[in-house]
Amino acid sequence: MASVSAAAARTRPVLRWRWLRWNLHRVALGYIAFAATGVFASGWPLLVLLVPGALLVCVVADGMARPSSSLFYPTVNHGARGAGCVALTFDDGPDPVVTPQVLDVLARYQAHATFFVIGKALAVQPQLGRRMLAEGHVFGNHSWRHSRWQNFRLFGWHLREIEQCDQAIAAVDGGQRSRLYRPPVGLKRPELARAVWVRGLTLVAWSLHSHDTRLKDPERIARRVLGKIRGGDIVLLHDGHDLAGRQRPQCVVALRLILDGLRARGFECVTVPELLQISRGSTPPVA
């Protein structure tokens, strides 16, 4: 009985801290409202009360907008810096035209990658998903529909998005759902953090963005990556597009140039679980 009570006592601070992280945006808005009421009632001398509120709003905004922020949930964005390997990750696929070409290039260089798939895209391309797995690549959950308005959604919506994508992945890999999650556009909010915690996922960002979403020249994309690459990096690339009817074909040529450069430097391309040394069924840090 004593051991149970001790364990409960150790858990309470963690739960309180988690509650605060998931409600920090509400705390910030509540404080601003309180301070503004004080200013309105008592005049300009109380303007000083708005300063802590403004700082708190900035902290919350940074936590939402910065992909690597762990304010709301523990987020990994790179592996061990002394490692002789990097992890290439691909978002927004699978694409029926671009993804097979990406897989061809990866196979040619014997490189493995992690594909953060959009659930509804995978659901109509299950054979492409099976090819990914057969060639040694790993899935990550990138939501069901990749909504650009997700930061205006509540907990239940985020949970359904994650669960639907998990179901699409499970239909391809035989029921072993992905333990990795990357939010669309890298944006996070407390409601999303709570859904990720409920599903027991590891939240993965990146340490090096290829900028292949705005750069159309494959050589510029490759130069950017190779000019900044370090051991342990998680590199963000895109084999698909979240908007129907659009593609990112520059990814294929850029990938070949990147792999040429990585090979010349002696870097090995591994999956995110391999880079982070986590198993498929491992549990992420407590939020």
Are 86 and 262 in contact by the 8 Å Cβ rule? The answer is yes
Residue 275: what residue type?
L
User: 3-class DSSP state for residue 155?
Assistant: helix
**d(C-alpha 166, C-alpha 121), whole Å:** 13
Of how many residues is the chain composed?
Answer: 287
Unique residue bearing structure tokens 């509804």 = 120
Burial readout 255-282 (b: 16 or more C-beta within 10 A, e: otherwise): bbbbbebbeeeebbbbbbbbbbebeeee
Residue 118: what residue type?
I
Which positions are catalytic? 91, 238
- The conformational region for residue 100 under phi > 0 = left, psi -120 to 50 = alpha, else beta, is alpha
**d(C-alpha 84, C-alpha 63), whole Å:** 30
**Which residue, 45, 88, 30, is CA-closest to 256?**
88
DSSP tally for the chain: helices H, then strands E:
11, 9
